[in-house]
């Protein structure tokens, strides 16, 4: 029994907790132990539990090989506190678990964690500004709506190009988009793109849409340096000068031959401690509390690296600009330190990469409420960030292009044909009914053919059209809708019946031919001289 991959979606942290508890209770080896001249059945030592659970977490694709033994001990402490395990005397509720020979056992029952109840977030998708959206502050209530009747004449006017007739038209300029309209478009399309990448029906349980600031998204896209780092308008939110200097010092650590390098022993450790202390005392993690569930949900896509990078790109666009800038500088420093072979050890007993992850994981991602696996999830996320930070902290080009094209489209003029009733205000449907795949295929195949077939019959039976005009329209209809035309005229004979050939008049005989019928050929004598 192995760890199944928990994909993106709501309550992912709770699902991972329950999955780990079930595996631990089902697979942890139990045997007989002796303690103080007494034997105990079906139990295990603390060290055995750490060994087994550590190996399980490292081999799990939900957590990865970066999980340390110390983190495994922390998780077992939470197991003891939540009565997943108890000591051999039945005591539990305290986090006094240690990596030693103390005996523990499973209680008769270990209830799984219920899914947390969260406030209902906004379900309705944000509406894009359309052609006829009224200016802000106007009401659409009690406005009479003229019903739209689609007859053959209107169909010809709306599809005049398809049938070869382009009537006179005029240009109608749209209402100018306000700054608020553009911000709503950026917010709505960004969230829709994120929902599509995550493969979710709704972002309701993952993200509170009301807390997403569209100004942050636009700033993170356009206010950047040549290196792609966010430029802040409010300089008071910048990193302190002494922190930035310390980060540059470690990121650009010189070779040992450089005389400018400080010579006292342990200088680099003091600089690193200065940076770690600053980031460790932030009031909120860099990825913010309200985006915790969104980032944890993206962790379910790590098996599909390209999709995970794309989802992280979008989530990082939702960050406040000052948080995004601090994250960009921190990740760049961490990556450079790990790749610098000349960097002296910054901690005894820990590798540089492990030290980076363990030191900064909590200041990058953590939950406002107590989440039992948040430390392991943060390690998993930071590890992936370090390996792909250059791609993740870029602006997703496909999303930016799509939104810019949408805004440009809404600012273009409208071509309006007379009589096309494009000023009619239509009431939007309040809901969509889900249909079966079979019904969808039927509607796709036959839903649009029935009105086209009726239109073709009107052209055929129209007595006002001359034969020449009717042939012209039918030929253009056949070119535009060959399937509908083929169904109506399956054979050339059926098409020929529509235009029967008129009988040709017999040629009049010459009068002399009637008076002198043909005579047999007779040889005449020649008149030779």
Q: How far apart are CA 106 and CA 88, in angstroms?
A: 9
DSSP bridge pairs for 170:
416
- DSSP per position, 296-328: HHHGGGTTSHHHHHHHHHHHHHTS-HHHHHHHH
Confidence of residue 153 (pLDDT cuts 50, 70, 90): low
Cβ distance 246 to 275 under 8 Å?
yes
| Orientation angle between helical segments 437-446 and 449-461, nearest 10 degrees | 20
Q: Which domains does the chain have, with CATH numbers?
A: 12-105 (1.10.10.10), 181-404 (1.10.555.10)
SS3 42: strand
Q: How far apart are CA 407 and CA 392, in angstroms?
A: 25
The pLDDT value given to residue 241: 93
Structure tokens at 317: 């666009």
What lies within 8 Å, CB to CB, of 195 at 6+ separation is 202, 203
Structure tokens at 454: 């009726």
Confidence of residue 428 (pLDDT cuts 50, 70, 90): very low
Q: Which of 289-298, 313-322, 501-510 shows the lowest per-residue confidence on average (mean pLDDT)? A: 501-510
The more confidently predicted of residues 35 and 333 is: 333
User: Hunting for tokens 């948080």 — which residue is that?
Assistant: 323
The more confidently predicted of residues 10 and 284 is: 284
Q: How far apart are CA 115 and CA 2, in angstroms?
A: 23
The pLDDT value given to residue 190: 94
Number of residues in the chain = 529
Give the rounded distance of the alpha carbon of 99 from its chain centre.
43
Q: What is the pLDDT averaged over residues 137-143?
A: 42
Q: What is the pLDDT averaged over residues 186-193?
A: 94
Cβ distance 145 to 427 under 8 Å?
yes
Q: How far apart are CA 386 and CA 392, in angstroms?
A: 10
What lies within 8 Å, CB to CB, of 494 at 6+ separation is none
Structure tokens at 137: 């502050």
What lies within 8 Å, CB to CB, of 7 at 6+ separation is 199, 300, 301
Q: Which residues of 423-456 are buried (b: 16+ CB within 10 A; e: fewer)?
A: eeeeeeeeeeeeeeeeeeeeeeeeeeeeebeebb
> Which DSSP category does 32 fall into?
E
Q: How many alpha carbons fall within 13 Å on the CB side of residue 62? A: 24
The more confidently predicted of residues 374 and 372 is: 374
The pLDDT value given to residue 2: 58
The pLDDT value given to residue 424: 44
- Overall pTM > 0.85: no
Whether 105 shows a pLDDT value over 80: the answer reads yes
Whether 102 shows a pLDDT value over 60: the answer reads yes
Q: What is the pLDDT averaged over residues 411-435?
A: 55
Mean pLDDT for all residues in the chain: 78
Confidence of residue 145 (pLDDT cuts 50, 70, 90): very low
* pLDDT tens digit sequence for 259-295: 465 667 888 899 999 999 999 999 999 999 999 889 9
Whether 72 shows a pLDDT value over 80: the answer reads yes
How many helical (H) and strand (E) elements, i.e. helices and strands, does the chain have?
20, 6
Give the number of other CB atoms < 10 A from CB of residue 314. Answer: 22
Q: How far apart are CA 87 and CA 81, in angstroms?
A: 11
* pLDDT tens digit sequence for 109-134: 766 766 665 554 444 444 555 545 55
Structure tokens at 310: 């794309």
Cβ distance 122 to 210 under 8 Å?
yes
* pLDDT tens digit sequence for 457-494: 888 888 888 888 888 888 888 888 888 888 888 888 77
Q: Which residues of 40-74 are buried (b: 16+ CB within 10 A; e: fewer)?
A: beebbbbebbbbbbbebbeebebbbebbbeebbbb
* pLDDT tens digit sequence for 213-269: 999 999 999 999 998 999 999 989 999 999 999 999 998 888 544 546 566 788 889
């Amino acid at each position: 029994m192995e760890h199944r991959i928990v994909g993106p979606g709501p309550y992912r942290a709770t699902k991972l907790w329950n999955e780990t508890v079930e595996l631990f209770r089902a697979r942890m080896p139990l045997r007989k132990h002796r303690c103080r001249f007494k034997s105990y059945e079906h139990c295990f030592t603390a060290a055995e539990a750490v060994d087994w659970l550590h190996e399980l977490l490292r081999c799990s694709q939900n957590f990865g090989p970066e999980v340390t033994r110390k983190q495994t001990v922390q998780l077992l402490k939470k197991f003891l506190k939540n009565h997943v395990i108890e000591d051999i005397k039945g005591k539990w509720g305290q986090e006094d678990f240690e990596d030693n020979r103390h005996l523990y056992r499973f209680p008769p029952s270990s209830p799984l964690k219920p899914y947390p109840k969260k406030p209902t977030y906004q379900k309705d998708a944000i509406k894009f500004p359309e052609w006829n959206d009224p200016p802000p502050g106007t009401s659409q209530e009690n406005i009479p709506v003229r019903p739209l009747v689609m007859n053959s004449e209107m169909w010809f006017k709306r599809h005049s190009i398809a049938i070869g007739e382009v009537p006179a038209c005029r240009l109608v300029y749209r209402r100018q988009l306000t700054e608020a309209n553009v911000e709503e478009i950026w917010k709505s399309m960004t969230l829709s793109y994120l929902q599509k990448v995550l493969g979710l029906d709704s972002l309701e349980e993952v993200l509170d849409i009301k807390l997403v600031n569209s100004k942050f998204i636009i700033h993170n896209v356009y206010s950047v340096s040549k290196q792609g780092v966010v430029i802040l308008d409010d300089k008071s939110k910048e990193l302190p000068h002494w922190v930035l200097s310390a980060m540059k010092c470690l990121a650009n650590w010189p070779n040992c031959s450089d005389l400018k390098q400080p010579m006292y022993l342990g200088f680099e450790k003091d600089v690193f401690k200065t940076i770690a202390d600053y980031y460790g005392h932030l009031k909120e993690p860099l990825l913010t509390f309200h985006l915790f569930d969104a980032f944890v949900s993206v962790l379910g896509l790590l098996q599909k690296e390209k999709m995970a990078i794309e989802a992280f790109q979008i989530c990082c666009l939702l960050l406040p600009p000052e948080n995004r800038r601090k994250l960009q500088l921190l990740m760049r420093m961490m990556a450079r330190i790990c790749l610098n072979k000349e960097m002296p050890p910054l901690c005894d007993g820990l590798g540089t990469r492990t030290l980076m992850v363990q030191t900064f994981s909590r200041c990058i991602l953590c939950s406002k409420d107590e989440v039992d696996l948040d430390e392991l999830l943060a390690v998993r996320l930071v590890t992936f960030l370090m390996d792909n930070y250059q791609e993740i902290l870029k602006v997703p080009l496909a999303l930016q292009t799509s939104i810019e094209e949408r805004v440009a489209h809404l600012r273009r003029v409208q071509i309006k044909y007379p009589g096309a009733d494009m000023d009619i205000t239509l009431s939007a449907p309040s809901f969509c009914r889900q249909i079966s795949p079979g019904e969808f295929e039927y509607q796709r195949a036959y839903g649009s053919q029935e009105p086209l077939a009726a239109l073709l019959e009107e052209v055929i039976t129209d007595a006002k059209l001359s034969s020449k005009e009717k042939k012209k329209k039918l030929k253009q209809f056949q070119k535009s809708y060959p399937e509908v035309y083929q169904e109506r005229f399956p054979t050339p004979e059926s098409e020929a019946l529509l235009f029967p050939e008129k009988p040709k008049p017999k040629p009049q005989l010459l009068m002399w031919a009637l008076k002198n019928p043909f005579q047999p050929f007779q040889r005449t004598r020649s008149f030779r001289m």
